[in-house]
């Protein structure tokens, strides 16, 4: 609602030395909320817009508001003086204890502290805007208040130098009360805005508060000690008691419990945890006791990385903001020109007292046209939206991704780890004649027990799940690329592909039909031989995530074209495509081929998003209009993307697109509101309605409108938290 701005930024931050400076935290960095390219090692003001620099990373205790405290102090200490001056100006002529000239002197004395002290941050920023050749809100505020006050001082001290047309009711008209009220209202607007803006970082502060301040480290004797969180090291054994928060990322060593991960992953149901399961720092343990090993600490934890991503996204600039900056810069210069034109037009052509009208209307133009709202329109929406998305398990890397995701009409998805779990699971054991299913699985698991291959781990896990007793494997051989060989309980075993069986001269024909059916269903098939005879086959598959079908159906309803591109065999890819309802499937695709597929779709005019989790997906993630990485995937994939789904759940894409659409709509509302406000407010302040309605806008009313305009923009942005 308020205005455009040249780099807007009205509120906060003064560079003013008089303001109580916040203590500089070691290693802390400070940036402008509206101009994230400005980064400093200490607090100060933005050289572009004059806004106070804020910590890049807010503190969890919420003690990041020195300017709010400073402005509040200046406002409340000088408000009585402003009110007395206003009452004297409005009602003083009805009393006889002061002459008109004496009233001017009293008003000067009353308002001097308001202008000299309360308004000092405004004048500091005004001077900096001129020195930096970067006109902004403070250019207009400082010029308007300074002009009104200096004019009034001159009228009080040297009334004789003013022509007769300036004199009325026994004195030259003064505007001390107007200048003081403008300062008080501007301070009030800043206070309200700063309080509202503090809510935009609520998501980060909430995330920061998730991490417990202490952890319980186990000593060698089995007892535990309470230590500060920053004293935890990789490899430490930690106890997580019932009801405690998990201190850092790691792996469960002992115990079983359920852990609430909703605030980090968006998953509403508690997740069961046992030995070997991963824990995320900041999540809430339920009623079981766990012993864990710390694997990631400090800035390496998922919570710390989420906070970093959210902060980075909040400080980034949307493409829409760059347009607002260009508009606002020119706007300030235009307003200065309009104010000068208004002054001379009223002074030379207006009714008596013409120059009084000239001063009032010129000041009104300067005050009402502060480009605050225009500058805040998009950054506030971005800050609120990224915080809301983070609590839903969706992390945006920058504002551009938020703005662009809503326009995506084609989604390319990887298979392994994206549509599927990315962890092979046992599918079936099919024995040959003379073998039992359980014995086949036991022998295969015994042979594979020493292997780290994912397929081997799936077989061993199934055998242990069934309670089968595994034997020791001797003469184990691997590395042929075809399978493994060894001896178990004196029997010569071989487990691997059909090619391995051919090399051993073992026919697989009796089970080929069943093998073909399993392959068509997306499974990987390994044949088992015992003492030179076919013993059976083992099938392992990467199961489709339980949420995949729902997620893809939701995206189709939103009008997205879904394409699968995977390096897996075409038969496996087609099987997963059938299971998930994806008709357009590309199998045996190399990383470079995925990037070329994206290029071809973009050449058709498509806006393409790519979802993947592996290193091989990185080129495509970077080439897409929007890259979407699974939070369960590799660091390379996450680094190559603009959006991260913390849980690796594709349903997050639908949520992210909804957030994108509502955010862009909110930004447009804010920009439209700011532009309409100024389009109407500036002409009215200049007096264009006077000839027909006799309506003029008081500078005090203009100041109130200016302050409330910014608050309204922030308030509209905060609606995103519940949308």
Annotated catalytic residues are 414
- Strands of 582-677, DSSP E: 584-586, 608-612, 626-630, 643-645
Assess contact for 697 and 650: CB atoms under 8 A.
no
* Cα separation, 676 vs 672, whole angstroms: 6
Own/partner pairs, 603-608, CB within 8 angstroms, 24+ separation: 606/409, 606/410, 606/561, 607/404, 607/407, 607/408, 607/409, 607/410, 608/408, 608/410, 608/411, 608/412
Tokens standing for residue 442: 């036991």
* Cα separation, 556 vs 581, whole angstroms: 10
DSSP-assigned states of every residue in 471-523: --EEEEEE-SSSEEEEEETTEEEEEE-HHHHHHTT---HHHHHHHHHHHHTTE
Assess contact for 307 and 253: CB atoms under 8 A.
no
Own/partner pairs, 572-579, CB within 8 angstroms, 24+ separation: 572/415, 572/519, 572/522, 572/524, 573/415, 575/519, 575/520, 575/521, 575/522, 576/415, 576/419, 576/420, 576/522, 576/544, 579/522, 579/544, 579/549
Assess contact for 573 and 415: CB atoms under 8 A.
yes
> In angstroms, what is the C-alpha Rg of the chain?
35
Tokens 């817009």 belong to which residue?
49
Residue 528, beta-bridge partner list: 495, 536
Assess contact for 616 and 518: CB atoms under 8 A.
no
Tokens 């004297």 belong to which residue?
88
Residue 687, classified by CB atoms within 10 Å of its CB into exposed (0-12), middle (13-18) or buried (19+), is buried
SS (H, E, C) 350-369: CCCCHHHHHHHHHHHHHHHC
* DSSP alpha helix (H) spans, 316-429: 319-349, 354-368, 372-391, 399-405
């Amino acid at each position: 609602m308020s205005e455009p701005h040249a780099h807007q930024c009205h509120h906060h931050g003064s560079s003013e030395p008089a303001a109580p400076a916040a203590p500089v935290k070691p290693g802390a960095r400070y940036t402008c909320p509206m101009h994230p390219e400005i980064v400093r090692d200490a607090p100060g003001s933005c050289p572009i817009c004059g806004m106070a620099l804020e910590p890049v990373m807010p503190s969890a205790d919420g003690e990041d508001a020195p300017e709010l405290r400073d402005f509040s102090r200046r406002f409340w200490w000088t408000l009585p003086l402003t009110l007395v001056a206003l009452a004297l100006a409005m009602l003083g002529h009805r009393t006889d204890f002061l002459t008109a000239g004496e009233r001017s002197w009293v008003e000067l004395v009353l308002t001097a502290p308001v202008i000299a002290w309360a308004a000092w941050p405004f004048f500091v920023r005004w001077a900096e805007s001129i020195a930096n050749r970067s006109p902004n809100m403070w250019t207009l505020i400082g010029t308007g208040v300074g002009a009104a006050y200096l004019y009034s001082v001159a009228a009080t001290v040297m009334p004789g130098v003013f022509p007769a047309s300036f004199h009325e009711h026994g004195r030259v008209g003064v505007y001390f009360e107007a200048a003081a009220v403008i300062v008080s209202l501007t301070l009030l607007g800043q206070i309200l805005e700063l309080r509202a803006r503090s809510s935009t970082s609520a998501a980060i502060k909430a995330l920061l508060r998730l991490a417990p301040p202490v952890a319980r480290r186990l000593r060698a004797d089995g007892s535990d000690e309470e230590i500060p969180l920053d004293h935890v090291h990789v490899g430490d054994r930690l106890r997580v008691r019932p009801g405690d928060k998990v201190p850092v990322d790691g792996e469960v060593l002992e115990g079983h419990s359920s852990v609430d991960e909703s605030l980090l992953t968006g998953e509403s149901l508690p997740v069961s945890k046992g030995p070997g399961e991963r824990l995320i720092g900041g999540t809430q343990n339920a009623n079981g006791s766990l012993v864990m090993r710390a694997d990631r600490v400090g800035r390496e934890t998922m919570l710390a990385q989420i906070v970093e991503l959210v902060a980075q996204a909040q400080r980034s600039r949307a493409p829409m903001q760059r347009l607002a900056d260009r508009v606002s810069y020119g706007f300030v210069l235009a307003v200065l020109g309009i104010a000068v034109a208004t002054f001379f037009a009223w002074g030379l052509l207006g009714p008596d007292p013409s120059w009084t009208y000239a001063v009032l209307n010129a000041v009104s133009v300067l005050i009402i046209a502060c480009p605050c709202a225009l500058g805040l329109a998009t950054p506030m929406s971005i800050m609120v939206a990224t915080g809301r998305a983070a609590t839903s398990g969706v992390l945006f890397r920058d504002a551009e991704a938020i703005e662009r995701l809503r326009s995506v009409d084609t989604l390319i998805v990887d298979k392994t780890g994206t549509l599927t779990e990315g962890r092979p699971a046992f599918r079936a054991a099919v024995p040959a004649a003379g073998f039992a299913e359980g014995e086949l699985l036991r022998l295969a698991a015994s042979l594979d027990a020493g292997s780290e291959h994912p397929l081997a781990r799936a077989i061993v896990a199934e055998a242990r799940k069934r309670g089968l007793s595994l034997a020791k494997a001797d003469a184990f051989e691997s590395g042929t690329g075809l399978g493994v060989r060894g001896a178990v309980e004196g029997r010569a075993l071989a487990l691997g592909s059909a090619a391995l069986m051919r090399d051993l001269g073992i026919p697989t024909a009796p089970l080929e039909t069943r093998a073909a059916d399993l392959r068509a269903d997306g499974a990987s098939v390994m044949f088992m031989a015992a003492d030179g005879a076919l013993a059976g086959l083992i099938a392992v598959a990467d199961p489709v995530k339980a949420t995949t079908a729902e997620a893809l159906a939701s995206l189709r309803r939103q009008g997205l074209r879904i394409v699968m591109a995977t390096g897996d065999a075409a038969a496996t890819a087609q099987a997963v495509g059938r299971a998930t309802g994806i008709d357009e499937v590309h199998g045996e695709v190399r990383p470079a081929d995925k990037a070329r597929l994206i290029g071809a779709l973009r050449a058709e005019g498509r806006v393409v998003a790519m979802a993947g989790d592996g290193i091989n997906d990185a080129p495509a993630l970077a080439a897409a209009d929007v890259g979407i990485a699974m939070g369960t995937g590799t660091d390379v994939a996450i680094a190559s993307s603009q959006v991260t789904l913390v849980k690796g759940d594709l349903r997050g894409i639908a949520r992210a697109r909804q957030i994108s659409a509502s955010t862009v709509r909110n930004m447009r509302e804010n920009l439209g509101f700011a532009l309409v406000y100024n389009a109407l407010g500036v002409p009215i302040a200049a007096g264009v309605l006077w000839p027909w309605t006799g309506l003029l806008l008081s500078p005090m009313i203009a100041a109130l409108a200016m302050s409330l305009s910014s608050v309204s923009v922030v308030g509209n942005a905060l609606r995103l938290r519940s949308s």
